[in-house]
Amino acid sequence: MSVNIVQVTDTHLFSDPEGVLAGVPTWKTFRGVLEQIERNHPDFDYLILTGDLAQDEALETYQKLREALGDWLHRCRIIPGNHDNPAHLRTVFPELFPKEGAPLTFSLSAGGWKIIGLDSHLPGETKGRVEAAQLEWLRAELAKDPGAPTLVFVHHPPVAIKVEWLDRVGLEGADDLIALVGASPQVKVVCAGHVHQEFSGSIGRAAVYTTPSTCVQFSRRSEKDFDPKAAGYRIFRLGDGHHTEVHRLDPAGHS
Ligand SMILES: [Fe+2]
Ligand SMILES: [Fe+2]
């Protein structure tokens, strides 16, 4: 039994199809990533979009995103980032989210694994937070399937990535999530976006990863600075263990 996951993050799309973020036309690189996934990983089981989907946080942008996902939608799950409007996400993707008023989380079981998405959106803030009630929900989800290896997605990384300006806008109150992951041996992987770069670390025995954006990349300098690396995404093959790798957009994908 195994399950194949693709993670796409920080698309920063605009309602304007020509919209540009720090010199990068975000729809063009996102479409390039989708085409590359279709070419190279068409057998994926789930496509997880881990936030910062709409730079302008406009309803129309989410509608265009839904259109772009097309018939992949039933294989998609979404969590919000700081650059997202939770109400618009709920309006445009009603089948993907819990009822009104609840955080935009998901939990699914596939290939013997449990895959969970957390909502770290904090209104008006760049940093994130996972509230106590949501941690209780996570605790209950983990308790339902204590024997299932688990992958947890959250937009804001729960550990410092050692890039000063990004760590200042990380996950507030991360210690509670870290403690829960540390006390839950079935959590094998925690994976985030937000920092627009590849990073790997750990919480106890759990691996922690971050993933490049589908548009602009940040460098590892202490102040905000861009990296010319190509757009990227991450794949996971989950079976007896987990295998993961980052893929970058082929140069041809830019044309
Ligand atoms: Fe982002
Ligand atoms: Fe973010």
Q: Write down the pLDDT at residue 17.
A: 97
Alpha-carbon distance of 213 to 30, in angstroms, equals 9
Ligand 2 centroid – CA 191 distance (Å):
13
Q: In angstroms, what is the span from residue 15 Cα to ligand 2's centroid?
A: 18
CA–centroid distance, residue 144 to ligand 2 (Å): 30
Q: What value does the mean pLDDT take over residues 12-33?
A: 98
139 alpha carbon to ligand 1 midpoint, in Å? 27
111 φ, ψ (degrees, to nearest 5): 55, 30
Ligand 2: centre distance to CA 234 (Å): 17
pLDDT at residue 250 in the model: 85
- State the distance from the centre of ligand 2 to the C-alpha of 136, rounded, in angstroms: 24
Amino acid at 105: T
Helix (H, G, I), strand (E, B) or coil at 7: strand
197 phi/psi in degrees, rounded to 5:
-170, 160
Tell me the CA end-to-end span of the chain in Å, nearest whole number.
38
Q: Which ligand is nearest to the CA of 82?
A: 2
- Residues β-bridged to residue 177: none
Q: Which ligand is nearest to the CA of 81?
A: 2
Task: Give the number of the ligand closest to the Cα of residue 156.
Answer: 2
Ligand nearest to the CA of 216: 1
Q: How confident is the model at residue 242 (pLDDT cuts 50, 70, 90)?
A: very high
Which of these, 141, 135, 110, lies nearest to 120 by C-alpha position?
135
| pTM across the whole model | 0.97
Q: What is the pLDDT of residues 106-142, one digit of tens each?
A: 999 999 999 999 999 999 999 999 999 999 999 999 9
Q: Find the mean pLDDT for residues 170-198.
A: 98
Radius of gyration of the chain (CA): 17
Query: Is the pLDDT confidence value at 255 over 50?
Result: no
Neighbours of 100 (CB within 10 A): 8
Confidence band, pLDDT 50/70/90 cuts, at residue 252: low
Confidence category of residue 254, pLDDT binned at 50, 70, 90: very low
CB 194 within 8 A of CB 156: yes
